[in-house]
Amino acid sequence: MSGDRDLAAEFRAGNVRGLARAISLVEQRDPTVRHLLEELRDGLRRPRVLGFTGAPGTGKSTLVDALVGLLRGRDQKVAVVAVDPNSPFSGGAILGDRIRMQRHALDGGVYIRSMGARGHLGGLSAASREAIRLLGAFGFDYVLLETVGVGQSELEVAAVADTTVVVLTPGQGDSVQMLKAGIMEIADVFAVNKADLPGAQKVVQEIRSMLNMGPKLAWKPPIVMTVAARAEGLEELLEAVERHQQHLETTGEAAERAAERLKDEAADLVGEWARRQARKLLDDDAELSRRLLDDRVPYAAAEEILTTEGESLVPRAARSRHKMKSR
Amino acid sequence: MSAVQAKPLRIVLAKVGLDGHDRGVKVVARALRDAGFEVIYTGLRQTPAMVVEAALQEDAQVIGLSLHSGAHMTLFPAVIEELKKRQAGDITVFGGGIIPDDDIAELKKLGVAEIFTPGAPLEEIVTWLRKRFPDG
Ligand SMILES: Nc1nc2c(ncn2[C@@H]2O[C@H](COP(=O)(O)OP(=O)(O)OP(=O)(O)O)[C@@H](O)[C@H]2O)c(=O)[nH]1
Ligand SMILES: [Mg+2]
């Protein structure tokens, strides 16, 4: 690639390729992303971030597609990040969520990015937080995150979404299973999709009784029936999402979460940077690694690295003269 | 660089043209996934503009086109043209389909990197990609 300068220029010029490349850098946790994000810092606005999760085939992509249509009708710019699992054998992936979103393929106000869930150094949360930041800086009002709820990735994505929509369907047989499996806790809104099929009402009842069994919550997740394939119930879904966002604002939870997120992010970076450099140091410094092996436990080596290495734990590519304002 | 995680090769696979079968392209998608690549499958009836837009948004290094309707001499070059127009001529394009030898030679001259005909074993595509992208 032709260097950070060009990337920043392309990004600023609104060239989609600049954005796409920057997101790749973020996915690889390339430390140079720091320079781009610091350059863009004044233009950073956080978009509204909505997460969609649920079992395979529940209609998440169709729902996201319909919501993109609705939001575009309101003149909002929308980015979609769709996360699919990787093959445990090869690490490869077939990312097929775009198929359902083809009608937005040539709309300049829509950006769609597919990601493999695995192979994110520092985790999927770290990558998606940074991607969200880039998408906000690029001018998107909404970021819709889709993940299949079968493992860890939906939890990581829920951690970065403002509002998480859990998508269930009738006749799935496993909706109760899903609820038990802890996905309940991450739901801010329930969408009972495929409400054109028999049994939707029953799923609504099941969710309701689950909610009633649990502890009394400050936010009671609304349950919305949708037929994503016919774009039905989307207004109601968006309204439920907006009510949740309002709740976050008025209770101060939005600001609190934002602060928590940024603290987590800074702490994660400390770990990530230090780890990366420490490992390299242990590989390169024969004397140090000999002493570590002699010591047989890792504590003294870790302490020594942290206390003696100091600022050289920051990867060279990430170093910059930028300092925070002092108060 | 060892500090930065290597990114798997990303390939946008698309059916261009009007034929409605995607069994073949799905088999290719699985083979590429099993070889460790990330395949972004965009579905049927893609126009050249849609394919190129997807490749740009997805930061894909490779576009694989599948076509069985006989319109390869117009649609494949149209993708190459669109890429140039979007200043993305560095993205590698390969194609698959029932394509006569003369047309293959012509398409390669126009910038299609390789053509695989239905008889070719799938490993051939994987081997070719690995050779072209040793880091992917
Ligand atoms: N009957 C009915 N079918 C629907 C509805 N919404 C989506 N579908 C169908 O459900 C299938 C799966 O839809 P997707 O949107 O791909 O589901 P998904 O949850 O994104 O799937 P994965 O990403 O593979 O987990 C498709 O065949 C859709 O047409 C709906 O409201 N009613
Ligand atoms: Mg999907």
Residue pLDDT, tens place only, B54-63 = 999 999 999 9
pLDDT-derived band at A288 (thresholds 50, 70, 90) equals very high
- The finding on whether A227 has its CB within 6 A of some atom of ligand 1 is yes
Average pLDDT over residues A118-122: 66
Range of the domain at B61: 10-132
Q: Among candidates B56, B60, B68, which has minimal Cα distance to B18?
A: B68
Residue B1 lies inside a defined structural domain of this protein: no
- Which residues sit with Cβ closer than 5 angstroms to ligand 2, an ion? A 60-61, 97
The CA distance from A137 to A266, in Å, is 19
The CA distance from A44 to A306, in Å, is 32
Total CB pairs under 8 A between chain A and B = 99
B3 shares contact with chain A (CB less than 8 Å): yes
The CA distance from B121 to B101, in Å, is 17
pLDDT value of residue A181: 63
Average pLDDT over residues A208-224: 89
Residue B43 lies inside a defined structural domain of this protein: yes
A81: nearest CA in chain B? B58
Average pLDDT over residues B24-32: 93
Residue pLDDT, tens place only, A14-56 = 999 999 999 999 888 888 888 888 888 777 788 999 999 988 9
How much of chain A exceeds pLDDT 90, in percent? 59
pLDDT value of residue B24: 86
Sign of CA dihedral B59, A23, A37, A277: negative
A96: nearest CA in chain B? B41
Average pLDDT over chain A reads 89
In eight-state DSSP terms, residue B12 is: E
Residue pLDDT, tens place only, B120-132 = 889 999 999 999 9
Number of H helices and number of E strands within chain A?
A: 12, 8
The answer to whether A279 and A318 have CB atoms below 8 angstroms apart is: no
The CA distance from A183 to A169, in Å, is 14
pTM over 0.80: yes
Measured in whole angstroms, how far is the alpha carbon of residue A104 from the centre of its chain?
21
The CA distance from A105 to A122, in Å, is 31
The CA distance from A87 to B32, in Å, is 11
Residue nearest to atom 17 of ligand 1 (CA): A59
The CATH number of the domain holding residue B69 is 3.40.50.280
Q: Please list every residue in chain A whose beta carbon sits closer than 8 Å to the beta carbon of residue B33.
A: 87, 90, 92-94
B41: nearest CB among A91, A94, A120: A94
Residue B4 lies inside a defined structural domain of this protein: no
Q: What are phi and psi of A127, to 5 degrees?
A: -65, -45
The CA distance from B115 to A271, in Å, is 47
The CA distance from A322 to A39, in Å, is 10
Strands (E), A117-168: 142-148, 163-168
- The finding on whether A97 has its CB within 6 A of some atom of ligand 1 is yes
B135 shares contact with chain A (CB less than 8 Å): no
The CA distance from B46 to B53, in Å, is 11
Dihedral, CA atoms, B118, B38, A12, B85, nearest 10 degrees? 0
Residue pLDDT, tens place only, B73-120 = 999 999 999 999 999 999 999 999 889 999 999 999 999 999 999 888
A312 shares contact with chain B (CB less than 8 Å): no
How much of chain B exceeds pLDDT 70, in percent? 96
Residue pLDDT, tens place only, A235-270 = 999 999 999 999 999 999 999 998 998 898 899 889
B43 shares contact with chain A (CB less than 8 Å): yes
Residue pLDDT, tens place only, A61-114 = 999 999 999 999 999 999 999 998 888 888 899 999 999 999 999 999 999 999
A93 shares contact with chain B (CB less than 8 Å): yes
Residue with tokens 């299949």: A148
Residue pLDDT, tens place only, A151-175 = 777 788 888 899 999 999 998 765 6
pLDDT value of residue A180: 60
Residue B97 lies inside a defined structural domain of this protein: yes
pLDDT value of residue A175: 60
pLDDT value of residue B3: 38
CB contact residues (below 8 A), chain A span 167-196, against chain B: none
| B59/A21 touch (CB, cutoff 8 Å), yes or no | yes
**Helix (H, G, I), strand (E, B), or coil: what is residue B27?**
helix
B54: nearest CB among A89, A105, A120: A105
In chain B, how many domains are there? 1
pLDDT value of residue A44: 77
Q: Amino acid identity, residue A55?
A: A
Residue B3 lies inside a defined structural domain of this protein: no
The shortest C-alpha distance from A309 to chain B (Å) reads 18
Residue B109 lies inside a defined structural domain of this protein: yes
Determine which of B4, B10, B126 to mutate to test the interface with A (most A C-beta atoms within 10 Å).
B4
A276 shares contact with chain B (CB less than 8 Å): yes
Q: Among candidates A271, A282, A273, which has minimal Cα distance to A305?
A: A282
Strands (E), chain A: 48-54, 78-84, 93-95, 110-116, 142-148, 163-168, 189-192, 223-225
Residue B57 lies inside a defined structural domain of this protein: yes
Q: B114 has which bridge partners? A: B94
pLDDT value of residue B42: 93
Residue B83 lies inside a defined structural domain of this protein: yes
- What is the DSSP pairing of strand B10-15 with strand B62-66? parallel
